[in-house]
Every structure is written in C-alpha cells, then in structure tokens.
Chains A and B, each alone.
Chain A
Amino acid sequence: MKKGIFIILITLILGITVSQLWPPTDTIGTDPRYVVGSSRLAELLSDRGIGAYAQATEPRDFAFPEDHGSHPDFRHEWWYITGNLDGENDERFGFELTIFRFSLTPVHDHDPNASAWKTNQVYIGHFAITDVGNANFHVAQRYARGSLGLAGAQADPFQIWLEDWTIKFKNDNWQINASDKDIAIDLTLSPLKPPVLNGIDGLSQKSSERGNASYYYSIPRLRTVGTLQIENEDYSVTGLSWLDHEWGSSGLSNEHQGWDWFSIQLSDGSDLMFYSLRKNDGSRDPYSAGTWITADGHSVHLSNDDVDIGVEDYWDSPLGGTYPMAWHLRIPQIDLHLSLRPVLDAQELRTTVRYWEGAVDVVGQKAGMPVEGRGYVELTGYARRDPG
C-alpha cells in the first residue's frame, strides 16, 4: 500500500474478491500458474496492457488539493487513514479506513448508449476499529463499482466514497464517515503538518525496474476529533491520524513475499514512516525505504541501510501464519531507538486478503532523551492458509 507492492495486493484483492463470489480460487494471485500460465493474461499485462496505463516513471509536481483526488489513468490508487484515539473516560481505540480504487482497463470508452453500470473503475474499502479496553477488533469490507454513484471520487467538493463510507476534504479539513453493522466513525481530521512526499520527490521506487514505482505522499499528523460507535455505544474521541495516498500502475512483482510498514507519531512532534519489503527468501529488499519528518514538517528520505529492525516477539494467527509482533527500530543517523508493541495482538483483518494492521505503542530514546509515541503497523504476506 502506502508502501508499495500494491500490485500483489491488487492481484490478491481482486483474485480473492472473485474467489469469494465464485469460489474456489484461493490459489489465484499467489499461484504463479495463474499469473504466467496464460498467454492472454500475459498479453494483458504486456505493454499493450499495463503500458496503456499512465506510469510512475518520473518525479511529478504535486499540487494540492487536486492531488488528494483520484488519478483514474493509473491502474490503482488508495487513500489510507489510520489513527489512535482516546475516549473521554480513558478508553483507547485504533481505527483504519481505506478506500482502494482499481482501473480494470487502461481506457474506458464512454459510450453514450451503454448502461450506466458500465465502468472500468472498482472500489474496495476496509474499515476496522480496535477496541483496546474490551480487547475487540472489528472489521468491515465493501466492494462497489465506480459508477451510478455507488462509489467514486470527485473534485468539487472533493470526496471519495464507497457507498456510504466517505472521505471528504473541505476547508483544509478531512471529514471521514463509515459505518457497518456494529461499528461507525464520524471524524474530523485537521492536518498539523503539510503533505510529505515520500521516496524521491514523491516517486516511490519499488524495485530497480523502471516504472515499478508509485506516487506516494503522506499527511503524517492530523488532529482528530469526533465520535466512534461500537455496538450502539457512542464515544467522543480525540487523537492523531495518519493519511497515506498512493497511486501507480506497475506490473506484477513476484520477488516479494510481503511488507512490514510502520508509521509512528512521537511525543516530541516528529514522525516516522518506514516500509520494509520482504523478498521471497525472507531477506529485506534494498528498495525498502522511509521518511523521517521533524516536528516542523521538514522531511528526510530514509533508505534501506538507514534503518535497523529487530523482531522481539511473534504472534500466531488462529487462521494460520506467524506474524512478528514487537519490534526494535534503530536509526543511527538521527540517534533514534524505538520499541514498538501492539495494543492488541489480534488486529488481523480477515478480509479477502488476510493481513495485519494495528495500533502500536512506542517507547524509546531520541538523542539520549526518552520519547514515547503511538503508531500503526501493517504486516502483509504472513498469512498461511492452514493453521500451524
């Protein structure tokens, strides 16, 4: 996602979306036979296919608020909002609201005689709340086609929506709403820092291959106020959120198994984002990268070698797969030592693609001084089909 290997995710999400509609296809996406075995698919992914989408090859000039909106010429795009919230009576919550957009074809001919349902745009949403006090994790997932007003992105007034889940941007504030059977959020997010361009001027390279990259920016610190509902209980909440927006078109990458993504907001006003791409042999890809953002909004690109990560604990998912569950992060360049521990182990999203995305607590030292903070971690590619 924000971090990168979105193509795998796309394949997985779309593949498994279909498999849920029309099982049994759990192997799709991960089984190379489906990826390379078909000449038709190869044709689709060849230059004539992928090549027909806009490509992230050169750094671009970002313009806001326009670039908060959608970029339908690119194959995929997402808006990813995570945050740590506190209730009035010391309740502790985490939330995630993500809307993915996918173009199924590079071009969409607007035939005036076609059905209003016809579109090449598909939206998928994930919505999760971590209820730390009750040790509960709630997840909801949605799909819709980007037509007929069921889902879409529009510029004026700016909003992205998937049915009644909405992300709006107005008067420099973000307004997000989502609800499902047991959970709902209604939050206002005010940026405390301007958007930060990740990678090189916002071009986030995922491998040495030209074009295997995305445009990626973050708003690392948004003051968040609003209400949160769990099982008909309303909570007034405040806290900090993080917004990622990333888009690109790059092709399949088979060398990666998954990634670990960290976003941390520290008590001294500085923020950190780092993604570690894991290769199939378990090693870290040299293209892993991150961004260090100082309290005044100044950002520093972090490359793979800049960051040491040590895993200190593990968690076995009841559905199979072992996730790393506590980390030690060391960035010598800024003399930073951090320990990360999840507020709850079971923050696995059992959506069509199973992954872990959860709130974490952070303690450590910066230049010898104690710091603390909160953050969100995303772990993909650990889920195994069979438990144990």
Chain B
Amino acid sequence: MPALYRASFGYLLRHPWQLALALLGICVGVAVMVAVDLANESSRQAFRLSMDTINGEATHQIVQGPAGVDETLYVRLRLKEGIRSIAPVVEGYVDIGNITMKVLGIDPFAEREFRNYSMSDSVVSVNDTYRRVLTVSGAVLMSEQTARSLNLSPGDRFDVSAGGRAYRAELVAIVGGSDDRGLDNLIIADISTAQLWLAMLGRLTRIDVKIPQDDATVITDKIRNALPIDGQLLNATGRTRSVIAMSAAFMTNLTAMSLLALLVGVFLIYNSVSFAVLQRRRLIGVLRALGLTRRQIFTLILTEGLVLGTIGAALGVLIGMWLGQQLLVLVSRSINDLYFVVNVTDVSLSPLSAAKGLIAGLGATVISAIVPAMEAASYQPRLALSRSVLEHKTSKLMPAIAVGGIGMVVLAVILIQVSGTSLVAGLTALFLMILGLALCIPITVRACASLIAPMANKVGGTTARLAISSVGASLSRTSVAIVALAVAVSATVGVSIMVDSFRGSVSDWLGNTLRSDIYISVARGTLDTDLVDELVRVPGVAHHSSSRRVWLESETGRTRIIALKMAPGSYAGVDLLDAEPQDVWNSFDEEGAVIVSEPYAYRHDVRRGDTLSLNTMHGDKVFQIAATYRSYDANAGSVLMSRHTYESHWNDPTIGAIGLYLSPDAKPDEVIEQLRKVSEGRQSLLIHSNREIRDISMQIFDRTFIITDVLYWLAVGVAIIGILGAMLALELERGREFAVLRAIGMTPGQLGTMVTVQTGFMGLLSGLAAIPLGLLMAWVLIDVINRRSFGWQMDIEVSPDVLVTAVALSVIAALIAGIFPAYRAASSQPALAMRDE
C-alpha cells in the first residue's frame, strides 16, 4: 500500500514542527541513555584496557600483605624453584605537574613473556635506550599519547613528585603504537627507578605469574609452597574484576537515571504520535470509509511510529555519542574521586551501546505508539470520533488505571521487602513506584479540576474557569503531559532530598570524625617516619594520632584496612552505631578487636560480636568485631584496627597521615608555619587545617553529584518539550472551540490568557503531584538504593525549599511550554477555523 504510506509521510513532511517534536522526544531519551551507557562503558573499558596492558599475559599475581612482596621471594622463585614465567612489578602513582600518572616498574629481562611494547622514535639507539632505562635513575618510557599530553619529546627531562618528594625523570623513548590506548597515562620505568620513586625499596607491588594450562597444578603447588605465610597467589583477571566491581553500584545508579530520562521520553513520544493521529482524524475517517480495515489503520500508524522511532533513535545515538563525551569527564572524575584512577580521553562507541540505544528507542516508540494507533483504528468510518466520546472513554478508564497504579506501588513495596540487598530489584521497585504513582495522577487531576473550577470562576472569571475545567475535560491529552512533568519534577525532588540528606549526614559525620586541628599527609605516599617524630614535637602540638590505609588482598577480594594510633581526642571521632564506647575501646586498643564501617557490615552481613578473618604475616587470623561505625567511604567498606594490632600482624611500619591536636594556647597558623619549616626540603607535605579538610571533602562530594544534577535537568528538559507538545495538540484540537469563543466575543488577549492559565494550572498540578512522588522517591533512594549500592545509612532531611522549588519549577516549565501555544491560540482567525463546518 505504498500510496497510503506516501500520503502518511507526506503529511508528516508538511508538518515539520510536529515531525521535529516527535523525533526530539525519541532522540533526547535515547541520547541520554546512550550517553550514560557510553560514559560508563568507556570508563570501564579504559580501566580494563590499562589493566590488560599492565597485567599483560599474566594469569596470576603474587601479592603479600599491605607493604608488598619481599623482593627476595622473586629471586627465590626463580633460582631455587626454577619458576621462569614470573616478572616483578612495582606499581604506583606519581604526579607530574597536576597530572597523575601510573608508574609501571618492570625488569625488562623478565618482561618478554608478559608485556610486549614496540619502541620507536628514540633520539638514541635502542641499545642506548635500554642501557639508560637500566642504569639511569629516572629514565622512563611512555606512549606517544602520554608524551603528547605531558608535552614531552624523547630526551626531555621533567620532574615527578611521589610521596612528597621530587625526582628528576627523563623521557628516553616512545613505546607502543599510536593506537595502543592501554599505554595511555602510563609511565614505564625500570624497577629500580620505580622502587625509589614509590618508596618501595626491597618490596614489589606484586609478582606477575604466567601459569601454562598443561602443568598448572604442578607450578601452582610449587609457588604456593614457596610463598610466605601471608603471600597469596591470586587470579589476575579476578583481581581486575574485583576492582571494577567496586564501581558497579555507582554505574548502575547512573544507568537507572538515564532510564528515567528515557521513561520521560516515552511520554513525549506518546504525545507526539497522538498529536499526529489527532490531526488526521478526518483523513483516517475518510480512509476507513474508503474501505481500509482497522488492522490496516493500526499498522499504518504503528509503522509511522516505527519509522519515526528508527530515525529518532538513530539521531539519538549520534547525539548520545556527543553527549557521552561531555558526561565522560564527569563520570570519570567521580570514578577517580571514589574508586580507581582512570584516565579516559575519549568515548569508545561500542556497537552494543548503540544497539541498546536503538532497541530501547524503538521499543519505547512502539509502546507509546500502540495507544494512539489503537485510537486511530477505533475511529468510525463515517467520520472521526468526536472528542467528547473519546474523553468519555478516557474518563471511564481512569479508575481502572488508578487501581492498576496502586497495584504497582503495592508490588514495589513488596519487592523492596523481599529482595534483600539486590540493587537491581531496588531500582525496579523504584521504577514500578514511579509508574504506579504516575498512573494515579490523571484521576487526581480530574478531581482537582472539578474542585477548583468553581473557585477559579470567582477569582478569575469565565476565562479562568474555562481554563481550569478544560484541563479536567481533556484528560486524554493533558494527563500525559502532566504526568511527564510530574515525574521529571518529582525526580528532582527525590534526588534533591537524597543529596541534601546525604550532604547533611556527610557534613555531620565529617564534623564529628575530624577531631584533630591539623592534618598532615603526602600525595600518593607515606610519611617519612623520622620526620613524623620531629613534626609531633613542634611546640604547640599536644597530642597526635596517626593512620595508615591499606588494601589487603585475598582470593575473595580486597579489604580496606585502616590502622589508627589514637590520640585521647580521637575516640569521640569514631561514631559507634551499635555499641557503647566503654565496651569497645579497651578491646580495640588492648585485645586486637576491630571496628567495621557501616558499608562493610552491610556488605558482609556482620555486626558487633561477629568475627572476620584476615590474612596476616602469621597466616589467617580471626578478629573480633567490637562495633560498627558510621562511615561514608565509597567502597566495600573498611576495617578499623589499632596501630598496635596492625603492627603485630603485618610488617609495615609506614604511616600514611597524622592528625595533630594543639594545646589550647597554640595558634594553628603559627604551628603550621613551624611544621612547614621542619619539613622543608625533606618531604613536601599536605598540611591542612580541620576546616580545609572538611571543605575538600565536601567539594569532592559535590563534584560527585554534578553528574546526578545534569541527568535530572535533562529529564526536566524532556518534560518541558512534552508539555509543549501536549499544549500544541490541545490547541489544534480546540481550534474550533477557540474560534467559537472568539466569535462570541473573547478577545485574543483573553484567549491567550486562558491558554496560559491552563498550562500554568497543569504545571501547578504537576508540581503538587511531584511532591508526594518525590518524597517517596527520596525514601526509596535513601533507604533502598543508597543502602544497597553503598551500604550507607543517612537521616532524611526535607527542606521546604526543595518542595517550593519543585512546584515553582513545574509551573515555570509549563508556562514556558505554553507561550507558543498561547500565541497560536490568540492569533487564530475565527473565520478560518470555523470554515470547516
């Protein structure tokens, strides 16, 4: 039936605005989804790629305790055990200017089986490069991209800083091809250079092991027998996976937010397609009269939707790629702040992301086109159904829809109760709840409209009355727009409350936790212990505490250990959740008991009185859990132990940071001045006052939520477009009505006002509906999603500001969307509009 389809698309082409609006809906929804997916995937991919480069061909890795592997183990394995496929690795981070780079320290002689880099563009011969890498301290290799990003060429010397000390480095040669992205932001150096820079003399980060399939058990047994008691032979891919897994919850949340944008996009598509159907009511009626079956009409409209969906989704994928690039910066920065260092420079468009976007876009279009298609198919052959009949039908359906909505909410609540700790189930419940409540909105709108219309009459006269009551009377059009806006606005309410609550809790927690007056640490390294002894003797310092944070690796994953040397004032800084201080601190200080963070307790389902097992230098050791403490660290949680406990179980005398408690009469500025003097020329320290640490922490916090904000504003944008579409549809349908109103004496101004009031009212309803919806969403986000994602618990704080802002936002959004329809209505020619009759 090509003629029919030609007519159909010819119609769409003659109405470019309408076409654009429909495409925009699909496009924006898909774009946001693709963008988030790309940003997530690119971050993950970049990390995986760099891990692949760094792990090379290693199948396993030997790690040992928090301080690293004793380098003599490597020699022993090679010489005594005759194990050849092993390579020593010293890995860490250094800063070059304000750029952080990963350093990979290797023994070139052991590398052949593990990592293979091609070398090019050297100003000296390869022999000499090799000679320099081995014998010149600070000689490094890097990829072309890395060198370019640092503005270096082979032969250039530059400074690196690590652990508060500056070192001289020289770029000896470029390695890798230009498309070798795994080498990006990686500095390759001889192991002797890396050990020096990273203060790892005598220690290795790990030993890479390549175990061939055929005699795996023999070699594995050999290695296991040779390992010291705290040594571990771990699967290399498993290690990478466990690091990536840390960020999984964060990425899942982002994906959920992008789906919300798509959900709002669905409303928009529905609007656009309905609009297109409405305009052709007469044409469709004629077609039916000419003998087209309902099925043919249905197929026609659905096909139209599909074609629009395909084009829109394809455009969405393209825009999503661009948007993904923008989001990437935000996403990767958050990941850097919270999880692992990853430097992603560009999005890699995976066909999978594109396919996901296309399928989601098409699926959304089909779903949202079905209702209008059914509506079109239901038109009587003689002429299109009159509006009143349609509204009547909608009206009759409404209680059923509302009941369905309530059912979904109930289902969501049940799901939350039974799904334990599953994040995906939590998010599913969240979406069910949003949808369910959204379905209840139309019936509420009708009730409100009929309630308010008489009042409006008193306040604003006939114009207002007409405006208000028509909202209720044309629910088949208005409700969708109201729902879309309400959902978008409620999302801002929910997220604002969540972020505010979170921020408040974190701020309180920081205030409580940060007890010291001055904090001293070094960027990417540990403090010089001799220097520490001098620093704590600076006049004005009364007490000091120290901390050391390390990762402990085992076959089951990584555990964050924090070893604390407590000052008298430190105890109050640990916010114990399930025990009294007097029951905790003695066993913590004297008996080797540990305290676990709330996320750790949640993840591992442990609490006070339970035990946990850690691999120490004396073998596996069971530790008593004395309490759970409040913490907002962004990983699987931490285990807190006293410095004494730590040192008796691990051979690691290093200190990561110290906190200084000043005597009452000391002036912090003067003490800081003195501290700088003492450390000058020895180690460049990060010395911060209590205040500064709080500010820095809150800055990171706020930075993390920028991405959240951006996504929600995108959702609101989609909703505004939805309102615009709905109002245009209404205005078009009511062209004759408006003409009659004009004919009976309403001025263009009054007509414009009426349309404006109407949209304003819709915005108001949306805003009001958004409040309960948003509160509910906040509760789910805080108590279900956050808890399941990160194990955090926080107090819900609802500021009236958020609610008022939501309503205002909603009304303003609606008014903006109503400007054009109001202008159109006001400028319509009554004679022209009525000529149809």
Whether the Cβ atoms of B112 and A20 lie closer than 8 Å is: yes
Which positions 178-192 of chain B face chain A at CB distance < 8 Å? 190-192
Q: Known A17-B130, A23-B116, A41-B125; judge A117-B192 contact (CB<8 A).
A: yes
Query: With an 8 A cutoff between CB atoms, is A28 at the interface?
Result: yes
Query: With an 8 A cutoff between CB atoms, is B604 at the interface?
Result: no
Find chain A residues with CB under 8 A from B118 CB: 22-24
Whether the Cβ atoms of B124 and A38 lie closer than 8 Å is: yes
Find chain A residues with CB under 8 A from B82 CB: 164, 179
Could you give, for residues 108-141 of chain A, a 1 whenever the CB lies within 8 Å of some chain B CB and a 0 otherwise? 1000011111111010000000000000000000
Stretch at the interface among B44-52, B195-203, B729-737, B767-775: B195-203
Find chain A residues with CB under 8 A from B651 CB: none
Residue in A20, A115, A120, A179 whose CB lies within 8 Å of B201: A115
CA distance A163 to B78 in the complex (A): 7
Chain A contact residues: over half helix, strand or loop, or mixed? loop
Find chain A residues with CB under 8 A from B134 CB: 104, 119-120, 122, 145
Whether the Cβ atoms of B190 and A34 lie closer than 8 Å is: no
A29 closest partner in B (C-beta): B127
Whether the Cβ atoms of B117 and A148 lie closer than 8 Å is: no
Whether the Cβ atoms of B75 and A149 lie closer than 8 Å is: yes
B80 closest partner in A (C-beta): A164
Residue in A11, A117, A119 whose CB lies within 8 Å of B195: A117
Find chain A residues with CB under 8 A from B196 CB: 113-115
Whether the Cβ atoms of A114 and B192 lie closer than 8 Å is: yes
Find chain B residues with CB under 8 A from A148 CB: 71-72, 75
Interface centre among B80, B126, B130, B131 (most CB of A within 10 A): B126
B201 closest partner in A (C-beta): A115
Find chain B residues with CB under 8 A from A15 CB: 125-127
Query: With an 8 A cutoff between CB atoms, is B404 at the interface?
Result: no
Query: With an 8 A cutoff between CB atoms, is A48 at the interface?
Result: no
Q: Report the minimum CB–CB distance from A123 to chain B (whole Å).
A: 9
Whether the Cβ atoms of A34 and B202 lie closer than 8 Å is: no
Query: With an 8 A cutoff between CB atoms, is A52 at the interface?
Result: no
Query: With an 8 A cutoff between CB atoms, is A44 at the interface?
Result: yes
Which positions 664-683 of chain B face chain A at CB distance < 8 Å? none
Q: Report the minimum CB–CB distance from A260 to chain B (whole Å).
A: 26
Could you give, for residues 616-631 of chain B, a 1 whenever the CB lies within 8 Å of some chain A CB and a 0 otherwise? 0000000000000000
Residue in A19, A21, A105, A144 whose CB lies within 8 Å of B131: A105
CA distance A241 to B489 in the complex (A): 90
| Contacts between the two chains (Cβ within 8 Å), count | 111
Whether the Cβ atoms of A34 and B125 lie closer than 8 Å is: yes
Whether the Cβ atoms of A22 and B116 lie closer than 8 Å is: yes
Q: Known A116-B201, A118-B137; judge A104-B71 contact (CB<8 A).
A: no
Whether the Cβ atoms of B191 and A115 lie closer than 8 Å is: yes
Q: Known A115-B191, A115-B195, A149-B75; judge A120-B135 contact (CB<8 A).
A: yes
Query: With an 8 A cutoff between CB atoms, is B332 at the interface?
Result: no
Whether the Cβ atoms of A149 and B79 lie closer than 8 Å is: yes
Whether the Cβ atoms of B78 and A118 lie closer than 8 Å is: no
Chain B contact residues: over half helix, strand or loop, or mixed? helix
CA distance A179 to B82 in the complex (A): 9
CA distance A38 to B79 in the complex (A): 39
Residue in B119, B131, B193 whose CB lies within 8 Å of A104: B131
Which positions 1-35 of chain A face chain B at CB distance < 8 Å? 11, 14-15, 17-25, 28-29, 34-35
B200 closest partner in A (C-beta): A115
A161 closest partner in B (C-beta): B79
Could you give, for residues 71-115 of chain B, a 1 whenever the CB lies within 8 Å of some chain A CB and a 0 otherwise? 110010011101000000000000000000000000111011000
Whether the Cβ atoms of A144 and B126 lie closer than 8 Å is: no
Query: With an 8 A cutoff between CB atoms, is A311 at the interface?
Result: no
Query: With an 8 A cutoff between CB atoms, is A287 at the interface?
Result: no
Find chain B residues with CB under 8 A from A144 CB: 109
CA distance A18 to B127 in the complex (A): 7
Whether the Cβ atoms of A34 and B126 lie closer than 8 Å is: yes
Whether the Cβ atoms of B71 and A40 lie closer than 8 Å is: no
Query: With an 8 A cutoff between CB atoms, is A200 at the interface?
Result: no
B131 closest partner in A (C-beta): A104
Whether the Cβ atoms of A21 and B79 lie closer than 8 Å is: no
Q: Report the minimum CB–CB distance from B632 to chain A (whole Å).
A: 38
Query: With an 8 A cutoff between CB atoms, is B175 at the interface?
Result: yes
Whether the Cβ atoms of A150 and B78 lie closer than 8 Å is: yes
CA distance A119 to B107 in the complex (A): 12
Query: With an 8 A cutoff between CB atoms, is A158 at the interface?
Result: no
Find chain A residues with CB under 8 A from B119 CB: 18, 22-23, 25
Whether the Cβ atoms of B190 and A114 lie closer than 8 Å is: no
Whether the Cβ atoms of B135 and A105 lie closer than 8 Å is: yes
Query: With an 8 A cutoff between CB atoms, is B831 at the interface?
Result: no
Residue in A40, A117, A145 whose CB lies within 8 Å of B123: A40
Query: With an 8 A cutoff between CB atoms, is B129 at the interface?
Result: yes
Whether the Cβ atoms of B126 and A118 lie closer than 8 Å is: no
B176 closest partner in A (C-beta): A22
Whether the Cβ atoms of A28 and B126 lie closer than 8 Å is: yes
Query: With an 8 A cutoff between CB atoms, is A327 at the interface?
Result: no
CA distance A21 to B72 in the complex (A): 24
Find chain A residues with CB under 8 A from B137 CB: 114, 118
Q: Report the minimum CB–CB distance from B836 to chain A (whole Å).
A: 79
Find chain B residues with CB under 8 A from A35 CB: 125
CA distance A17 to B175 in the complex (A): 16
CA distance A164 to B82 in the complex (A): 7
CA distance A148 to B201 in the complex (A): 12
Whether the Cβ atoms of B112 and A41 lie closer than 8 Å is: no
Query: With an 8 A cutoff between CB atoms, is A235 at the interface?
Result: no
Which positions 31-90 of chain B face chain A at CB distance < 8 Å? 71-72, 75, 78-80, 82
Query: With an 8 A cutoff between CB atoms, is A143 at the interface?
Result: yes
Find chain B residues with CB under 8 A from A145 CB: 107, 109, 134
Query: With an 8 A cutoff between CB atoms, is B128 at the interface?
Result: yes
B134 closest partner in A (C-beta): A104
Whether the Cβ atoms of A28 and B107 lie closer than 8 Å is: no
Residue in B80, B107, B127, B192 whose CB lies within 8 Å of A14: B127
CA distance A119 to B108 in the complex (A): 13
CA distance A164 to B81 in the complex (A): 9
Q: Known A117-B107, A117-B191, A163-B79; judge A18-B201 contact (CB<8 A).
A: no
Interface centre among B72, B111, B125, B175 (most CB of A within 10 A): B125
Q: Known A22-B119, A104-B134; judge A116-B127 contact (CB<8 A).
A: no
Find chain B residues with CB under 8 A from A40 CB: 123-124, 128
CA distance A70 to B112 in the complex (A): 27
CA distance A11 to B127 in the complex (A): 7
CA distance A144 to B191 in the complex (A): 13
CA distance A272 to B107 in the complex (A): 41
Which positions 266-300 of chain A face chain B at CB distance < 8 Å? none
B132 closest partner in A (C-beta): A104
Whether the Cβ atoms of B71 and A116 lie closer than 8 Å is: yes
CA distance A34 to B124 in the complex (A): 8
CA distance A20 to B108 in the complex (A): 10
Whether the Cβ atoms of A22 and B109 lie closer than 8 Å is: no
CA distance A172 to B835 in the complex (A): 124
Whether the Cβ atoms of B126 and A18 lie closer than 8 Å is: yes
Q: Known A21-B108, A150-B79; judge A117-B190 contact (CB<8 A).
A: yes
CA distance A118 to B107 in the complex (A): 10
Q: Known A34-B125, A38-B124, A44-B128; judge A164-B79 contact (CB<8 A).
A: yes
Q: Report the minimum CB–CB distance from A251 to chain B (whole Å).
A: 13
Q: Report the minimum CB–CB distance from A164 to chain B (whole Å).
A: 5
Which chain B residues have a beta carbon within 8 Å of chain A's beta carbons? 71-72, 75, 78-80, 82, 107-109, 111-112, 116-119, 123-131, 134-135, 137, 175, 190-193, 195-196, 201-202
Cβ contacts A to B, 11 pairs, < 8 Å? A18-B126, A21-B130, A22-B117, A113-B196, A114-B196, A115-B201, A116-B202, A117-B71, A144-B109, A148-B72, A163-B78
Shortest 6 CB-CB contacts between residues of A and residues of B: A115-B192, A22-B119, A118-B192, A115-B195, A143-B109, A117-B192
- Other than A15-B127, A116-B201, A116-B202, give 5 A-B pairs with Cβ distance below 8 A: A15-B126, A28-B125, A115-B196, A117-B195, A144-B109
Which chain A residues have a beta carbon within 8 Å of chain B's beta carbons? 11, 14-15, 17-25, 28-29, 34-35, 38, 40-41, 44, 104-105, 108, 113-120, 122, 143-145, 148-150, 163-164, 179
